[in-house]
A and B are shown apart, each in its own frame.
Chain A
């Protein structure tokens, strides 16, 4: 058993275990634990990407999903502070049944695609630098597959327009979020100031020097 294979099983098993933990009754009842399990799953997936020599994708997976997105997820969930008894038990509704059917359909489609692809290729080799998944090719071949240079080249040539569109979309989303989240603190609640006129000094601050009911000689 090569080291890659061991790591594959460890990471793959980890990803599945975390994914299962997300839904397990005693863990899944606590949304925070579920969200953190999702972080674990994403982390294991990043490891799998690294095994496939996609180091860039792996690091980005951690930065973007495990780091940024999931931090905000957990942040929101933790601040909502849902108690376990506030969470409704799972009930079958039409919507959920429909979602289940669609999920099964997509899953089946995926299985079919992988099986077909595996049939097309001679073998699926998990060693790095030969990850010819599905035998698919694209212009430029596999030289530098998964490296920064290759990803960068493709982003700025083949996929330039979608790339720019997505960044504009993200900018719009960021600005929109700021606009929505920004609100004024209109209910700051200070008491009304005391009437300064009652104070004997207030009417004659300059004449304070004549203040003579203090002191002793």
Chain B
């Protein structure tokens, strides 16, 4: 609950809408959790599946992280498991694009990734909060090597096309100066007795001392240009060696300029629980996670299977699918139980006999729009020219953000940036409506306004618009509070012989952890039902 203290005076609604604007609804949902409005997620160790399933059969639909988690755990305790997968690969949205990969989106456009060897983009999930214990436990267990993912980089940019003449500002300057000015104001209020009643006299003295330290205030409690403030916000000329060693202090940005710029709005992206250090990414691409699961359960997967019908009766479940390699060939697969991880966008179109409340829940969740663009450059100019090593720059341009690679720091050679990452809002739809190469072109044009080097250094790019994804028809379940109240439980309950799992059946949609926790919860309940006969 500590976080809410930072926002005293601002209504929860205002705060959440601010976070929603800058960070997307998944971030917003997590913020709601932190503010005590939502439910805590939690991994409580490996599932305890005690009792003999007596050879019961389970058919799992979808080989994303939810499906493969279920397969791994259920086979281990004696179930006979099969998985049907629409794609020609496992992993679902846990996916990495590398040089040589091709991707055909809905509408038929095919892109070939032309990145150099070793370079990649994660078109779906890409970062792991340190408190996503379920996912971290599987990474440990399956031998997925992690490295730090930089979310906050003080030297990355905050950019508004309408402020500071369009010149990007360093995160550090906005953050430190805002902190300094606010401290000065608060100190002034304390000195003029305006805080009387709110803090005791004793606490007031402590508060002043704290503000001086936290806000880099001088002896008169003012935030001014000085070597002392430069120790926080950096120098106009850094301290050096020899005859040129003398540092020059830097000039703080005026409070009114920070306020009118709106750039403070992006600071929440570095403060939120889900974005706090330490974040991780797998070495070599996010799909190392899916690949590690596939090593365990890959032998259970039938690929190219497009599910068209799911039918249950008191004896079992029959799933009908079309073998995409032999169009028109319908195949039936039977099992005692079915764990369905098919995204709701697709499941809501499949013939399925479940209760009316579950069917209503399946039809109640729209899917978020999201677009990512990966761009390869001839050199890592963001490091060499601008000293930006990892992290994220935020902008009011349609690309929303630029993320710098969190690996291979300070090396020569090429690099790939995440050149756009939208989440809902008009720009996400507008990017999606474009042809893939147009998305790349626009991402380069807009990025040039932040990094002029784009113009000379850009080589090639690839774009992923999730509403054009043939296997998800959207990015992730976009729950509203109202929909959740009405439908969430009905979505997650076991219905006869069928239970759903996936990020959409979690309180942390779009996160890999949501898929895993939902799967563990579903199989634990299913197993109880099976062994209790």
Whether chains A and B associate is no
- Give B residues with C-beta under 8 Å from A: none
Chain A interface residues (CB < 8 Å from chain B): none
